[in-house]
Structure 1
Amino acid sequence: MPSKFLFSLLPCVRMVETESSFLKNGSILLEDLIASCEGKSSPIRTYSADELVKATNNFDPSFIISEDLSFKLFRGLLDDRSIIIKKYLHWPSEAEARSMAIRDIIISMQMSTHKNALKLSGCCLEFSLPALVHEDAAKGALDCHGGLGDTRSLPWKTRLLIATKVAHALANLHTAFPRLVIHRDLKPTCIFLDDNYSPKLSNFSLSITIPPKQFHVEDVVKGTYRYADPTYIATGYITEKTDVYSFGVLLLVFLMGRKIRAVDKSAVVEDLTSYVDANILREVRADEQAQQQLQAFLALALLCTQDGRESRPCMTDVAKELVRIEKSILHC
């Protein structure tokens, strides 16, 4: 009899936990929205935990399309359409994970109007940690093309187009909002591709804002090895040039078609030279204009990854240069 009584109470316990999570997550989200968006933000749909559980067959591992230390991405079906659900894990701690999830929601909301950002459809506040619901990107993350950062299956012109559109999304992140926002963890796994190979920038969980009238902010070092700005690693100072360095590394990845083996500049350049000669130049050997594009692209990548921040361009100028390269305005 007692066991039956306890069993009958389980739905009530779950309901209390769900309501408690909703109130806790909702209050923090609202507080951060007011602080980050100056009280102005576009409304988004709130999903119930039951809806997301049903969409993913109770978060069945077979629905996972990508994962990180702090979250798992599931592809589910909701209202007869495919969606991506981002479910955060209790890492490195519940408080930190909640902060990352809410930051991701807020910046994803702000970026959702940009055509090259992964649109946020809504969120669920009923789990212990908030979950994000994104539009689907049919071809998945960029790293799905043969491994982390592997773009060898993509033609050179497609890589160039992806790089150009990501640059515009990142420049928008830096300039379109009341406070300058730094992504801080740009890498191939943050970029999704739709049916037309159009990129969608995502994962703003480590993003940070720079206060008005300031040029940098100091914080503990976070990010991904090989993509993180060495100046930021050494000083803890974050500026818009922190993202520029990471984007430059991403350009090198696009150029080589795979992840970079080493951070050492001489090793990277040596690796690049042999790979480009053996692969991409062969692809565009008969196309003089494409070879010019390639050389300009490499020069831009190396400029973005200069050791001194003052030598790196801003993302707006990087985006303009990539448009110039894409249109082959490279006449002598």
Structure 2
Amino acid sequence: MECWRRKKEKEKERKWFLKNGSIFLQQLIADCNGVSNPIRMFSSDQISKATDHFDSKFYLHDIPEAFTWYTAVIEGRSYMIKRFTNKWHQIHPVAPYNDIVLSSRNGMAKLTGLSKAVTLPEGKTWTEEEHAFGTYGYMDPIYIATDRLTEYSDVFSFGILMLVLLTGRPPFLVGSDGVRGEPIEFGGDSNDRRPGQMKMFLNLALRCCEERNEDRPKMISVAKEIKLIETRII
């Protein structure tokens, strides 16, 4: 009886592996555009052992009802391990695979939390996504109002991030009149090129946060301008 039960459990695990593996492989192939993208894989036993069965001493932080981060060392290297909740996986069944695929891309440091990232259909500049999702203060107001996600939605969010980096303040400040706005001044002497660079950076950030899509630059242009600002002597 015990042997039959173990055999049944193994068959169940095999079916889950084939199902989940095929979904992940489809996502990976669709994203890599024919370019090889080798991913280092670890067994569940290795991960469980490295975290002492996800013991609290390896706990880093969590997003309630979504996932929990753990830190561990496997084969002499430090890793961050994201463990999705069953509830999150049921609501967004493709999210974990999407997160792995996007996080596994360019051999460089990565942003994380890409589970709800959306790829625009080829040849299109927008798509409709119900239930606006994102961090308050960074989300494109057009997306919030219309559920229409465009190639400029990320431009707006990145513009807000630029302002946060520049001012050292949170993205949303409420004052007595509802919205708080204060002038920004850049110091420095005549030989310091940083004030000029920061003004250019500020102007670019404000353009990214324009109310209308057509007034915002495309992300490729933003990247090029940042590179110019970095190297330009004012």
Q: TM-score range by the shorter chain?
A: 0.7 to 0.9
CA–CA separation in structure 2 for the residues paired with 1:40 and 1:285: 46
- The aligned counterpart of 1:81 is 77
- The aligned counterpart of 2:161 is 250
How far did residue 268 of structure 1 move?
Answer: 5.1
Aligned partner letter, 1:100: A
How far did residue 303 of structure 1 move?
Answer: 0.9
Task: Kindly indicate whether residue 77 of structure 2 is the aligned counterpart of residue 95 of structure 1.
Answer: no
Q: Deviations over 1:154-178 (max 9, x none)?
A: xxxxxxxxxxxxxxxxxxxxxxxxx
User: Which of 197, 200, 224 does residue 320 from structure 1 map onto?
Assistant: 224
* Secondary structure at 1:77 match in 2: strand
The within-5 A match list for 1:231-310 is 231-262=142-173, 267=179, 269-270=181-182, 273=183, 276-277=184-185, 281=186, 284-286=187-189, 288-310=192-214
Larger Rg over CA atoms: 2
Alignment CA distance shift 1:28-1:83 (3 Å): same
Task: Kindly indicate whether residue 58 of structure 2 is the aligned counterpart of residue 63 of structure 1.
Answer: yes
Aligned partner letter, 2:20: N
Task: Kindly indicate whether residue 223 of structure 2 is the aligned counterpart of residue 311 of structure 1.
Answer: no
Q: Deviations over 1:33-87 (max 9, x none)?
A: 3444466642323321110011112212232333224222211000011111111
Alignment check: 8 A CA contact 1:73 1:84 kept: yes
How far did residue 22 of structure 1 move?
Answer: 2.2
How far did residue 291 of structure 1 move?
Answer: 1.3
Q: Deviations over 1:289-318 (max 9, x none)?
A: 211122222111111111101111111111
Unaligned 5+ runs, structure 1 = 119-200
CA–CA separation in structure 2 for the residues paired with 1:225 and 1:88: 22
The two structures, once aligned, show a CA RMSD in angstroms of 2.9
CA–CA separation in structure 1 for the residues paired with 2:144 and 2:57: 37
Aligned partner letter, 2:133: K
Alignment CA distance shift 1:89-1:41 (3 Å): farther
Task: Kindly indicate whether residue 109 of structure 2 is the aligned counterpart of residue 206 of structure 1.
Answer: no
CA–CA separation in structure 1 for the residues paired with 2:96 and 2:174: 30
Alignment check: 8 A CA contact 2:138 2:171 kept: no
- TM-score scaled by structure 2? 0.83
How far did residue 263 of structure 1 move?
Answer: 8.1
User: Which of 100, 104, 125 does residue 105 from structure 1 map onto?
Assistant: 100
* Secondary structure at 1:98 match in 2: coil
Determine which structure has greater relative contact order: mean sequence separation of CA pairs < 8 Å that are 6+ residues apart, divided by chain length. Answer: 1
Alignment CA distance shift 1:33-1:288 (3 Å): closer
- TM-score scaled by structure 1? 0.61
Aligned partner letter, 1:211: P
How many residues were matched structurally? 229
How far did residue 12 of structure 1 move?
Answer: 7.1
CA–CA separation in structure 1 for the residues paired with 2:62 and 2:142: 28
CA–CA separation in structure 1 for the residues paired with 2:209 and 2:174: 10
Q: Deviations over 1:96-144 (max 9, x none)?
A: 34311011122223x2x343x43xxxxxxxxxxxxxxxxxxxxxxxxxx
